[in-house]
Structure 1
């Protein structure tokens, strides 16, 4: 008969600690509701010890452990039969399963603590306690979240968890070295940042106030944020302070977002861009702070909700993917026909649209034969070109109330071109 390993002292101590922790949380939660339930600070440690001992007796076939689980199941079934006769405060039948599941969890915890790595036992127990104590908050969240958001989250899971692993990791055409998986990975990363910003502005009340909206908008699209804030300023003088500083702030966040996204795919390129991008971001953030402090705050300043829609609609994802592929093909053709100078001109042109596909294409090596310095120069040119576009939007939609931000954006564009020229001089 093979020898059975004796449980370590650390495993037994962890088992007791976690079962007591679970029992304390259980009793505290139900004491507030003045309702008696099976389980608690004594029951859960006993269940865990019992489950651990029964597992230890036969860790191969688990006959004793399974028998103990069946006995526990019969006992809980009897309780649940009586429990179903109860009514909650609204007169509804009390059919919750949380109490039963926590008792089963306490029993299984014995085997988990002895058989699996300790982080597994800690992780599942902490998760169970958080789900128990966060019941009211989770129910409020469910009532608050729109059903469409759940559908959208499902779409994101399909994009990242189903489609991404199935795409080929090799180029499918000699026209570009970008693979379908790289295209989709770029789409997933940008969509994740955009969706996080969108959810914060939609469900976090403070995110729609002051400069929070502008900062989070910069994670999604500084161009769209500029249009929204400029329109708000045009409607009412009370939005001038927020719009002026917010447009500059969103552009400062844009530099940081681009740098982070590049670092995910190309750390070497991110290092080359770190100094200029962080410098431009610091200047933009400092000017935004000065604008917010200098411009007089109107009485009763208010904000309007963001006008942008959900960034994870499948239509928007398809457009992004198509742009990514088109820019990758255009970059390869321009590099072949016109050399590195052609890439710089292309950067200036795409800056008047969405620069993310262009930047990500370069970061992933979509244009062969172009060095890191040349790529960094192209990124700075594209960002500067985009700033000129935003300056035009600020004046067109906000008029005189947002012209200070337009001036700052033009200044940042000039600074970006100067830095690009400096990098070109270094590379020469």
Structure 2
């Protein structure tokens, strides 16, 4: 991480703040790369070795993503109660255990069971719990810490997609899973155990999380606010945009490798193109930060959704070549990188700054359900149609509908008072 890549305010983190941010960011890079991005690389080898269908393999992923969404709330509560060290350490240990069992299983039932457990590991180790830790421990400096973390974590696919594919080619897919398990056991779990220290209540009172409302503020008031927002067309438009976008990204991410293999693209070209995604995610975030207040979240979101439509059209209409894949990866990476920030800031801008957690929670569950179902449905479409042409057409439609929904939410309406 070089200084020009960081926002100016990041320099105020201090030595202890930097230790916390950089170590957690390194663990995020490994967790995302080994637990999340690696899945698509194992689909084809498992099909060939075990004879399982693509739909059945992706069904386990859907179960994991669904459990991850359902587990997010209790994980957040535990972290708010000062259990971050326990939650994230156990999450990494659980992720390592799931990868190790996956490596030796020949049973589809065991595969589904361990991916349900993987959902708990995902909820306990990825961005949301890490963001909560930084928000609670860095005080007013938490925004700089979160920005630095996303810049490093955004390179997870760049680092681990080539690394995982290399391990598969050299050792085999089962041995590669053991290698990923060791990364989580020896690196991530160790970082979470050693670096995270659960703050005592006195420290927590002296350094409360920024912009946090008193306990109970989101109960009856939050429910009344939700009833008001649900009468607004722009609330439903924004909700629909995020649901469709989540379905699109999940289906695309976990089918992209087998999709490109089916179109005859060499694995080296696929891995090279996918390695572009991480740097472009980081580049998109840096550009957005450099614009600062000159670009609203609504304006950034309109660009993001438009770029995603363009990326999907590129993938659907043009011949499948390495150059086309690199162009797609660049557009996809830049758009998805900025989307992480847009999703965190769009609700206060377009809807309300009150009961932030309640409003976001109301949007999170439908998006999680869509994310969980999309890879499985895409696999069913692939099996039914005999190829990925129909799947790609559906993904283009999803991208277009998501863009239209976001434009309807953000362009004509002013933010709620």
Same fold (TM over 0.5): no
TM-score (norm 2): 0.28
TM-score by length of 1: 0.28
Larger radius of gyration: 1
